[in-house]
Structure 1
């Protein structure tokens, strides 16, 4: 949902409609808190849901404990994500990085104390995560309220945030569907691997590989955010050629970086597994998945960046359909057939994921290559005007 903030705030910043940005951020918080209430019920009943989709009682029991401990985190996300996108749209990145690093180091210490010293297990780990995210909310909020860098874009809390919600809500839903389809796809395949004949080995091996992939994705998401902000700013400012050039630059850099990451995974396929386990059977299973993991990492040098371009341009609804088709109509069935009807097992499930990501990447490449950037500038101007709405226009005039 927060990617809608990247789109509208980024384009508003490029168009120099600074006063509109704070209202857009508040509007996003309102919608996010509403979504958090709905998600709370899902987290609370995570155990029965896991059992309903075929997971064992032991996995469901532990999953429910961890999910319930993360409920506070949902509300932290609801506030933090819009605030972060609000700052990123203004190219305010370093303060966010400093706050994240500081709280991350504190989180490591707290996790060690809660899990290893006081032995609170999954419950303690989840509550520690929630606490750390709320620290981020508080520090980021204070920065927005007190920093002179935000004096033009944050003009205080306003009831105007409750006006003009519907046009923004539609973009928010498209953003949520687009990204949720991506996230649920990989997480769903992990759940499906728990239904294989040897669920413990399958889950252990695919979870380790997903950790590698998540590390890579975290890095690439930074480049994706940079692409999104740059493209949205330039479209809002009416610079189509600069926006197009930015797409080439960030993709070239990310492809080179992902090629290096893929090589590291292939070269150190055994050593990296030892970071997670000493079980030779699991290490062997992870080693067998490493070539597929390397291919996934390479594709991550393209797909997240193009998704960032899509967010910066406001193509979320189009990409949502692309993700639905590539992942769920094609990739997921292929993964299930290869995983359960052949001897490939967990590797077959990963092949399905890889197929979906490949098809999505190819589609996004075609979509981006055929983009008329002059037309996108006009669309961006209309989007900012619609999102700002009459209430925002009044506020800008008042300022």
Structure 2
């Protein structure tokens, strides 16, 4: 129940009800039909507080990967090929799985923080770390047999040997990331992002001399590069854990493994598995694109051009990915705090920002199409292929940026299965056939493969917009309340402010529509739909 507004009164003769306390965490949907200018600016600031440092962290981590590639190139062509193959295999079989499973804790932690259920934050962190560590064990055994797997896949024996050396040394990295990913999400759910940025920066500064000592000084070769990557992630883990201990941000969360963290995994797995599928489907697409390049005429040039473009899209992806993280956190926080209007505003502002980001990325790709490839190679054939495909890659970003941000909204509202279904349909039922037809049947070659990606991204973005436009944010608040309670292993949690209403003799309705002044108001559920 809420205080009646003048335009809700049906008749001047109708007596005005006595004002009663209202749960302050529910916001009136009429006030959020469309966010006004001040609300948009405020939401941009809130998203920017999370997305800005996340983007800087992403660029720092990207520079770390580039440093590793430079040292592999220093070792020689065989080491570069073996290391690149190993990194690609590690992405497919390990890193994508760990990253995707970790994202399952985003909606639970974000909504728990919004509902001020700090104990659930700590429990979810512990459960996720245990889940990722358990997953890393079978992946490690697979990596230990990587040479046999690669040779069975008809890869060159010498390159497979180098790749095997790299990936075996990188096995500890799986366990470090099993702690690092959940810690980053745990902090980000609380709006804490800058410490992770500082820790990453310190580690990357150390990464350069560490590579030099291991690769040049101790002459450990490819194994030295892999060891440097793992030690750098270990440094980040140690620094982040020190910050959590020193700052006390985990004190209310009840850190320390207890018997309770071994129970109540159903909600986490329900979020983690679909998120893992969604992430893997997208990551694997790019690896499949490289494999298709090997079937084209002059595969060396097309694979090299594809490598340049994937490095380029990886750099550009840092920005929509960071925006997605910010939007996911904002949506989950507001749903957990029972504010559907603000969750809707965060989604709308984020999607609008993603469109602008996509246009900027397209402008960059088109404007730099003749110059960008020269940063990587002087080969004229590779440069021509890169210049022809870059405008198409830019068009892909028009769909990729909203699609990535939309995935963040779905994560924040605990609907990862929808994102997985969209990725499966768009990339593999639309994009893959289109790439094959345009690249091989229509004989467009390298550019045809990128037209297939364009079809996938356009389909993905369109489906994402349809899903978000049909979102009932009132129902999402109810789902958030139930999921948070289930994950905590308790009954439905009270809404902040509910106790005040109860003391005043006012019944707290579970439906958000009932909060809108009972019989003296119109039912406006539709106004909560994007």
- Confirm or deny a common fold (TM above 0.5): yes
Kindly report which structure 2 residues correspond to 1:252-291, keeping only aligned pairs within 5 A, or say none.
252-291=352-391
1:210-359 correspondence to structure 2 within 5 Å: 210-359=310-459
RMSD value, Cα: 2.1
Q: Compared with structure 1, are the counterparts of its residues 320 and 283 closer, same or farther at alpha carbon in structure 2 (3 Å cutoff)? A: same
Q: CA deviation at 1:30?
A: 0.7
Displacement, 1:57? 4.3
Tell me how far apart the structure 2 counterparts of residues 206 and 194 of structure 1 sit (CA, whole Å): 10
Match of 2:309 among 209, 212, 218: 209
TM-score scaled to structure 2, two decimals?
Answer: 0.70
Tell me, in whole angstroms, the C-alpha distance in 2 between the residues paired with 1:146 and 1:158: 21
The corresponding residue for 1:87 is 187
Query: What is the alpha-carbon distance in structure 1 between the residues aligned to residue 441 and residue 162 of structure 2?
Result: 29
Partners of 2:287 and 2:468 in 1: CA distance: 27
Matched, 1:28 2:128: yes
Q: Tell me, in whole angstroms, the C-alpha distance in 2 between the residues paired with 1:93 and 1:242.
A: 21
Match of 1:364 in 2: 464
Residues 154-165 of structure 1 aligned to structure 2 (within 5 Å): 154-165=254-265
Moved more, 68-77 or 94-103: 68-77
Relative distance call for 1:52 and 1:299 in structure 2 (3 A) is farther
Which position in structure 2 is the counterpart of 1:396?
none
8 Å CA contact 2:400–2:461 kept in 1: the answer is: no
Greater shift in the superposed pair: 141-150 or 60-69: 60-69
The 8 Å contact of residues 105 and 271 in structure 2, kept in 1 or not, is answered as no
Classify the secondary structure of the residue corresponding to 2:422: helix
Separation in 1 of the partners of 2:154 and 2:430?
22
Q: Deviations over 1:185-227 (max 9, x none)?
A: 1222223323334222121100110011001112221111000
Moved more, 126-135 or 349-358: 349-358
Cα distance in 2 for residues equivalent to 1:241 and 1:7 = 18
Contact kept in structure 2, 1:31 and 1:169, CA below 8 Å = no
Map Cα deviations across residues 259-314 of structure 1 (whole Å, 9 max, x no partner): 22221222122322122122222222211211111112232321111111111011
Kept in 1, the 8 Å contact 2:439–2:449? The answer is yes
Counterpart in 1 of 2:70?
Answer: none
More helix by share: 1
Residue from 203, 212, 222 that aligns with 1:122: 222
Structure 1 residue aligned with 2:520:
none
Deviates more, 1:221-230 or 1:182-191: 182-191
Deviations 1:89-117 (A, max 9, x none): 00011111111122122223433554566
> How many angstroms apart in 1 are the aligned matches of 2:156 and 2:302?
14
The 8 Å contact of residues 175 and 316 in structure 1, kept in 2 or not, is answered as yes
Q: Taking structure 1 as reference, are residues 260 and 179 closer, same or farther at Cα in structure 2, changes over 3 Å only?
A: same
- Note the residue ranges of structure 1 that are not aligned, 5 or more in a row: 394-399
Bigger shift: 202-211 or 138-147?
138-147
Paired position in structure 2 for 1:131: 231
Taking the aligned partners of 1:163 and 1:169, their CA distance within structure 2 comes to 12
1:186 aligns to 2:286 (yes or no): yes
State the distance in 1 between where 2:356 and 2:217 align.
42
Aligned length: 392
The residue aligned with 1:397 is none
